[in-house]
Structure 1
Amino acid sequence: MTKIPESIGQLSNLTKLHLNNNQITSIPETIGQLSHLTGLDLSSNQITEIPEAIRHLSHLTGLDLSWNQITEIPEAIRHLSHLTTLYLHNNKITKIPEVIGQLSNLTRLCLGHNQITSIPEAIGQLTNLRGLSLNNNQITSISEKIGQLSYLIKLYLDSNQITSIPETVGHLSNLTLLCLESNQITSIPDTFGQLLNLTTLYFRNNQITSVPAELGQLSNLRCLELHKNEIGFIPEELGQLSNLRELDLSENQITKIPDAIGQLSNLRELDLSENQITKIPDAIGQLSYLRKLYLNNNQITEIPKALSQLSNLIEADFDNNLITQILYPIKLVSSSTHDPCSSQAFIPPESREVQFNWRKAVRGHDYLMGSL
């Protein structure tokens, strides 16, 4: 289907219209005659413009125009006072109009994968918003007004050009997921410690130099991603994250693992690869639920006996270190079954088999004790 007929306006009792995944290039003005319409889905077409007639769809609660070629959000959209969901992601939109703030019933707004450069202050008027997606745009700053979105649960601002985060983000008390990866952020505000409902925090691929101690207050946090930054130090306070399941601090400049790491009693996955770590603390043996451990590409010289306590460990990687000693008998199982140089299995009989990617540390030995 390439065209919506003008006669569509005669369907005066129509409440829902789905014309997604076609080759429609335009929306006729007669669409405005569908006064009872509550749901309109025109996603995945080739539409370039939203007609002014959309202002007449006063009962519309859901509008999906994602995956088109729309370049502008018209002022007329302010008349859609009952709108709760607006999907405009994957278009060519360059600007969010101030009138967006008049959509007071909006709960979900998706504008990811566009060419938007700024967030208007009017965004703060969307006080019923639960989900906001502005990822994959060209945004350079976050409006302080975003802190007024007190009901917001999920916020996606990844893959932009953001350099700083306003302190007001700490006011988002209901936030459970915050994604700010792939930006140019250099610091995390101390106010993040107020996000007590946060369970998932993504800061991968930024320029962050330090982790604020206040993050230790996020008692509900389950996933913390800080991969590929410029962090040199892990604060002891992170040990307070008793519900943390995944911690990724790979590709940073960390030199030491604090003993407080052993307090992360629910941790399942720990990635500290590609840092400058020289020693594994015995405290790591307290991570009884740990299943995956990555410490490859560091400057570690020995594997402590404490590792034998990790009875749930199924995968570990110590490639490209300076290991000369293993302080406990280990049977290694390589992750590669095709490498003739890899060693095979294990940390004593009572433990589970662990998959080690440790070809440089051990060459052709089945059981090892002490110095290599």
Structure 2
Amino acid sequence: MDFSGFRYIVVGAGFWGLTLAERIAKLKKEKVLILEAKNHPGGNCYSYFDKETNIEVHQYGSHIFHTNNDRVWEYINQFSGFNNYRHKVLTKYKNEVYTMPINLMTINQFYKKNFTPKEACGYLEKEAMDAHIDTPQSFEEVIVSQIGYPLYNAFIKGYTVKQWNQDPKDLPAYIIKRLPVRYNYNLNYFDDCYQGIPKFGYGEIFNRMLQTPGLEIRYNVDYFAIRDQLPKDAMIFYSGPIDKYFDYCFGELSWRSLTFISETVPVNDFQGTSVMNFADMDTLYTRCHEFRHYHPELDYSSLMKTIIFYEKSKETKRGEVPYYPIGLKKDKEIYEEYKLRAQTLKNVYLGGRLGEYAYMDMHQVILKALDLFDQI
């Protein structure tokens, strides 16, 4: 495999890598080589339209674009317009459906009350006081000290155990500072001024980015198998796991991954919403995605098929591509070692969720890439 002639090499074709590659090719007029381990661009944000149903399938779970950043919004709209979808999340607990995050409707439905915002706030303050937690020492205690045990046990505990495979009592307090609770009937999951789903899907965004003159992408490439063959003077932008880059010399970081079970169901509408969480511990999955709901502008009224994904979290084993960091205290200490080592590298930049060991949404990753481009 020939790598000569490339001054810029991007490892990983997710939003971080592709944003950098597109900017370098377009504004610097330089050739950029992108090395991607998967057989498609976009990393875990990739989507495609199912040929039979014309439903956009988010291959690695739901992705909803949202941001308050003008620069990011203007940048991403070069490649796609967005529809008017506004994300709402429902959760099942004891076979009853509630709205999330916890809001006035959730509170009134759960306690079978008709509180005003002021009354609901006072009621939860009393629930929190009854828990007698003055100095929270764990994830569980942080949340209980804000909303009390009843709401925590119903909506937070079981879901957290399934998502992290950890007892919330054992998770450190610094993981969450404050649980979002709304004392009104605002059911939107995000409050950002810019929101939506790409009209032609995420996959098309990545394809349009790759049409920039000067870009070349090669799929199914293991960077670690060919890194010694790359030009010595090339600038490398790496978006894989930071611990793997350094061959785990300071130890392995803790990661989580997701697994999905896909079904095509012979009904027009399976669950009536895009995402349904399962708060009960005895439900194996954390949530169910139904992708047809992400495009309210498309007419699926006569379609008697719908595509759903059941999702559950799992441990990431060495060699697997992780989805997000866990970030326990020991992980923070290990990451700082890797971060210091990365700062000593010449012409190598590590970024993205995996490269920075940080839970970032799509708009945050894009902004990081734009800011880095300004510096090179």
Larger Rg over CA atoms: 1
- The structure showing larger relative contact order (alpha-carbon pairs under 8 Å, at least 6 residues apart) is 2
| Superposition TM-score, scaled by structure 1 size | 0.16
Q: Which has the higher helix share?
A: 2
TM-score by length of 2: 0.16
